[in-house]
Structures are given as C-alpha cells and as structure tokens.
Amino acid sequence: MVKQLNLTKSEQEYARGKKLTPGAVLGIRRPYNFVEGEYPVYFEEGKGSRIIDLDGNEYIDYLCAYGPIILGYREEEVDEAVIRQIREQGFCFSLTQSIQNRLAEELVEIIPCAEMVVFLKTGSAAATLGVRLARGYTGRTKLIRCGYHGWHDWCVEVKGGIPKKLYEDVYEFEYNDLAGLAELLEEHGDDTAAIIITPIGHPLGNKIETPAPGFLEGVKELAAQYGSVLIFDEIRTGFRVALGGAQEYYQVIPDLALYGKAMANGYPVAAVTGKAEIMKEAERNVFVSSTYFPNSIPFAAALKTIEIIRKQNVLADIWEKGEKFMQDLIDLTVKYDVGAEVSGIAPMPYITFKRDQKKEYKEKRTDFYTQLIRRRVFMQPYHHGYICYRHTEADLAYTINAIKESLAYLAEKYN
Ligand SMILES: Cc1ncc(COP(=O)(O)O)c(C=O)c1O
C-alpha cells in the first residue's frame, strides 16, 4: 500500500488563494481536474524532468506545463540567452527590436506554410488573429472548427459572460468526421471564412486521435472547394511532432497555422504564420497590436530553443524514447486487462479508460491516477502527457514500473 502524499502546505496555500483569486488558480489547474486531495495544488520549482511541490514532494513530470516544456525545466542555455537579452539589451521598448525578424526568418524556413509571421504571446490570441485574418481576407462571417483553441469568445466551451451573437456563426465538427464537415459546408460553405482544426485530435478527457488516412487531405480539399481558409492549430504539435509541426509530419500544408507552447521552452510566445496573401490583411484591414506582443524575452528564448532542438536532434530523441514508452504502456494494458487504453503519438502519450455503462471507468481513472501520483509520477487524468528531452531512460523505466504497479492494483480491485 503506497501512502497518500503529504500536501499540507499546498492545501493551506489553496485555502489562502481562494480568498484572493476566484477558484485560487485558473481553469485546468484547479484541483477538480486532477484527483482532489491526492494532487498538489502548487509547485515551487523544477529542473530537467523533475518538479517539486510546495510540500517538498518530488515528481517525474509528464505534463510539461501543458506543453511548453519541450527540453526540460530551467534549461540553462535558454535561460542564459534570456538573461543576456535582459542584461545587455533590454526587452520592452516603444519600438520593436530587430530580433523579431531573426525569429520570423527561422519560422519561415522551418514551417512549410509560413511565408510571413505575426508574433503574439498566447495561443488564444493567435487563434483569434488567425480567424480574424480569414474573415478579413474572405469577407465572410462563418467559422467551422474542431478542437480546443483557447478561451476567447468565439470558441470557448463555457459560455458564461458571452453574448450568443459572438459565437452563433461558429460551427463544430468531430475530428476524423469528414462527412460531418462536408455536411456543414453544404449548408454554410458559401459564407465560411475558415475551417480551423487541430491536426491531431485531442479532446479533453478522451483518447487522442491521429488522422485517419485521407482525413487531413480531405479537409484541405473541402476548404479549397468552398474557398475557405484552412487553419491548422499547431499550438500543441508545433516544434514537437516535427519542428514544422504536424503539417510537416503529415505533409498536408494549410493556408495559415498557429504556433506557441514548445517554441520557446516555457517563455510566452505564439505565432500566426501562413500565406503572404492572407497574412497581409494585417497590414491595414485587420488590426492586431498589444503592448507586450513585441516584448523580446521569449524571442531570445525561442531562438535558443530552436537552436538546441536542431543541434541536439531533440525531436528524434523524444520520438525514440516516446515510441518505446508507448509500446511498454500498450504491453502493460494488455497484460493487466482493466480497461486502460493507450492513445496518442510518441511525443504525446495518454492513458484513458474504456467507457462502460456502469461508469466504472471513472472510478478506475481516479484509482489509477491516485496510485500514480502517490508513486510520484505527475500525469493528468483528463489531458494527455508529453515526453520531453530531459526525460531520462531511468525516468521512463521508473514510470513504467509505477504504471505497472498501479495497473496491478486495479486488476486486483476490479477483476
Ligand atoms: C490546440 C490549442 N490551441 C490553443 C490553445 C490556447 O493557447 P493559450 O492557452 O496559450 O492561450 C491551446 C492551449 O492549451 C491549445 O492546446
């Protein structure tokens, strides 16, 4: 029997936080999105693949800050590049520093669809600019979407505080459902400005879906047929699945694409890239500006992160480790037949539980992730994981053993 973690300080801080910030912490970081009482609420530090919570518990981390950590926490070369930028030049000015062009040139070279780039600071802002460019370019109103694109009015799932008119022209289709998309286009195609989709399907709490043969190609064909702008939301897949993202990996090139997360190993930056003809809408017709968009701290981080990814063949390393990890996971879920399912791709593995009528899968999920966190493996019950460069063979072997013990616990309890 593995003991529950001591989380006293985390709980105290959480109680304090609730008086200061609604819910104490935001959105997906709230305790009900993990296993309440079993997971810490606050982390204090991280290094490489490890994180330490407020009570001093150390974990091997597989959530990677929800995606930005592609190398590891506190990656010295990246942090040094940032510190140099701060100390030697500064980063916040009334005009833009030329480092922006250096990073833009990198993106144009790396990303297949990229002819021009606009930098922002968050994925949500990038997604909103992407659809605004598409609406400006086509003169059309409607959007068809598939996947999570952030918290802005047109796409957020929780509708509180948002007038209906701000999202009533937005239609959703399911990942891998080409017929569903075709049907929507038949009805709305003439006024559809953009089809925006995550090139890999990763709905919260559900298995990751990779594209069925012909799916992404089919989406692209339909977009072209109706004259809609095709936008790939590569916020999770960019600089991870391949340097240029899923479009490079699957060889399906959209009109526009959004990048963020892994691009700068944790420093806040996002980008909209794509065909110059569409991007140029942002010269006059489409407005985009923010005090902080040209702030250059993350540009220095991104340039260094990209340099390291290239120099040290980081993505090949992640794929290799991730493939072995996924195979080990699959073998374990077969051996311990408790309804656990492995989905995803090597850089983004996920363990979910087969849905059953009695809804026992929910209890199994809670038990499994409780056993894992008690063994100091930090994974998210409702969100897929990530493999980063600093995960060592020993980390992965330890984790596989912890997963084995957790599945064995379930087998004993449920079978
Ligand atoms: C696919 C995708 N698009 C957009 C976003 C929004 O990005 P941000 O949280 O930086 O606003 C996210 C965030 O998780 C995401 O996963």
**Residue 324's domain is classified under what CATH number?**
3.90.1150.10
Q: What number of CA atoms fall less than 13 Å from residue 36's CA on the CB side?
A: 4
Report yes or no on 2 lying in a domain.
no
Residue 108 near residue 328, CB atoms below 8 Å:
no
Whether 109 shows a pLDDT value over 90: the answer reads yes
Angle in degrees, 0-180, between the axes of helices 76-84 and 297-311, rounded to the nearest 10: 140
Please tell me whether residues 32 and 80 are part of one structural domain: no
292 and 340: one domain? no
In this structure, the answer to whether residues 66 and 80 fall within a common structural domain is: no
Residue where a domain stops, chosen among 278, 311, 344: 311
- Confirm whether 16 is domain-assigned: yes
pTM score, two decimals? 0.98
* Pairwise CA distance, residues 187 & 222, whole Å: 13
- The bridge status of strand 340-345 relative to strand 348-353 is antiparallel
Instruction: Please write the tens of the pLDDT for every residue from 236-279.
Output: 999 999 999 999 999 999 999 999 999 999 999 999 999 999 99
Supply the mean pLDDT for the chain: 98
Q: Is the CB of 231 within 6 Å of ligand 1?
A: no
Q: Is residue 124 included in any domain, yes or no?
A: yes
Please give the tally of structural domains in the chain: 2
Q: Are residues 282 and 349 in the same domain?
A: no
Ligand 1 proximity of 234 Cβ (cutoff 6 Å): no
Q: Whose CA is nearest to atom 4 of ligand 1?
A: 149
- 324 in a structural domain: yes
Q: Is the dihedral of CA 385, 391, 393, 397 positive or negative?
A: negative
Q: Which residues contact 68 (CB under 8 A, 6 or more apart)?
A: 260, 261, 262, 264, 265, 266, 267
For residue range 367-409, what is the model confidence (pLDDT) as tens digits? 999 999 999 999 999 999 999 999 999 999 999 999 999 999 9
- From residue 31, alpha-carbon distances to 23, 38, 180 in Å are 9, 9, 35
pLDDT for 260 = 98
Residue of minimum CA distance from atom 1 in ligand 1: 235
Residue 394, number of CB atoms within 10 A of its CB: 10
Percent of the chain whose predicted confidence (pLDDT) is above 90: 99
Say yes or no: CB of residue 272 within 6 Å of ligand 1.
no
Rounded to an integer, the average pLDDT of 134-155 is 98
From the centroid of its chain, how far is CA 349?
12
- Same domain as 65, residue 205: no
Written as one string, the DSSP assignment of 334-387 is HHS-SSEEEEEETTEEEEEE---TT-HHHHHHHHHHHHHHHTTEE-BTTB----
Cβ-proximal residues to 76 (8 Å cutoff; 6+ apart), any chain: none
Please state the atom number of ligand 1 nearest to the C-alpha of residue 270. Answer: 10
**pLDDT tens track for 198-246:** 999 999 999 999 999 999 999 999 999 999 999 999 999 999 999 999 9
State pLDDT tens for residues 2-21.
Answer: 999 999 999 999 999 999 99
Please indicate, yes or no, whether residues 178 and 292 belong to a single structural domain of this protein.
yes
Identify the domain containing residue 337 by its residue range. 8-74+313-414
User: How is the beta sheet containing 377-378 ordered, strand by strand?
Assistant: 43-47, 50-53, 58-61, 377-378
At which of 277, 311, 345 does a domain end?
311
Mutate to test the pocket of ligand 1, among 151, 261, 292, 383 (most ligand atoms within 8 A of CB): 261
Looking at the structure, tell me whether residues 28 and 81 fall in a common domain: no
Which of 311, 327, 359 is a domain's end point?
311
Closest CA to ligand 1's atom 7: 123
**Token pair of 171, please?**
């239609």
- pLDDT tens across 50-90, in order? 999 999 999 999 999 999 999 999 999 999 999 999 999 99
Q: What was the pLDDT predicted at 1? A: 81
Q: How far is CA 333 from the centre of its chain?
A: 25
Residues 277 and 331 in one domain: no
In three-state secondary structure terms, 406 is helix
Mean pLDDT of 310-315: 98
SS3 95: coil
The percentage of the chain sitting over the pLDDT mark of 70, rounded to a whole number, equals 100
Residue 265 lies in a domain: yes
Determine whether the shortest distance from the Cβ of 259 to ligand 1 is under 6 A.
no
pLDDT at 26 over 90: yes
Residue at 1 is within a domain: no
Overall average pLDDT of the 152-162 stretch: 97
**Same-domain check for residues 344 and 305:** no
Rounded distance from Cα 87 to ligand 1 centre (Å): 31
Here the CATH number for the domain that contains residue 194 is 3.40.640.10
Q: Do 259 and 383 belong together in one domain?
A: no
Whether 64 and 181 share a structural domain: no
Task: Find where tokens 């490079």 sit.
Answer: 248
3-state helix, strand, coil in the chain (%, to 5): 45, 15, 40
Residues in the chain: 415
